[in-house]
Copies of this chain bind each other. A is one copy, B any other.
């Protein structure tokens, strides 16, 4: 934090990758699913194929090519295709739902719960995720994320980095942009927030995409705070 910066009132957190280790968590769910169904499969490859629908589906919503669709629905749609491709096209609806909701059962990185707890004593803290609202509420409960409230792309019915997502969050919190800090492991998210006047904090998560990650290893903009984890963020913000 630069010496001249007055502290923000609220902190908004990207969640997938920034706070939770979606990759190892979903891989564990898929491995359990494989054991239960007797499937041998390259689950890392399966997950890469599954995750690949995410940005494209969101971009289609943002371009107006499809109506508002939650990431839960995007993931479910793609999962049905991937299951069919490995001969599991006849799974029960409830079982497909359960597997889709692997994205609601994600482990936080080790610094997250304690770091958020420190920050919450002084700041108003909320996710601002591209997750569905319900998905973010269930994830918070699963992972023990101590939010003051939950805000997601669904509140704006479009996806980051569309400015409406950040603006809707500011409007609901009743705060001007410069009293709010966006915290993310992804440079594109911080760039969009900064363009609207929000403060920014970058937390690299070099293992988000597993070994060999090539993106978001370093800050690519003039972010206000650059720290290694949420505990360091709490220290940097005086908690």
Footprint of B on A, CB under 8 Å?
70, 72, 124, 132-138, 140-141, 147-150, 154-155, 172-175
A149 to B138, CA, bound (A): 10
A173 to B175, CA, bound (A): 25
The interface residues of chain B lying within 8 Å CB-to-CB of A175 are 134
A147 to B147, CA, bound (A): 9
Contact indicator A148/B140 (Cβ below 8 Å): yes
Contact indicator B132/A174 (Cβ below 8 Å): yes
A124 to B140, CA, bound (A): 11
A134 to B149, CA, bound (A): 9
A147 to B124, CA, bound (A): 14
The one of B124, B134, B174 in contact with A173, judged by C-beta atoms closer than 8 angstroms, is B134
A-B contact pairs, 15 of them (CB 8 A): A70-B174, A72-B174, A124-B138, A133-B149, A133-B173, A134-B172, A134-B173, A134-B174, A134-B175, A135-B174, A136-B149, A137-B148, A141-B148, A148-B150, A149-B150
The interface residues of chain B lying within 8 Å CB-to-CB of A148 are 137, 140-141, 150
Secondary structure of the A side of the interface? helix
A132 to B174, CA, bound (A): 9
Nearest-neighbour CB distance to chain B for A97, whole angstroms, equals 11
A173 to B138, CA, bound (A): 9
A173 to B172, CA, bound (A): 17
A95 to B3, CA, bound (A): 29
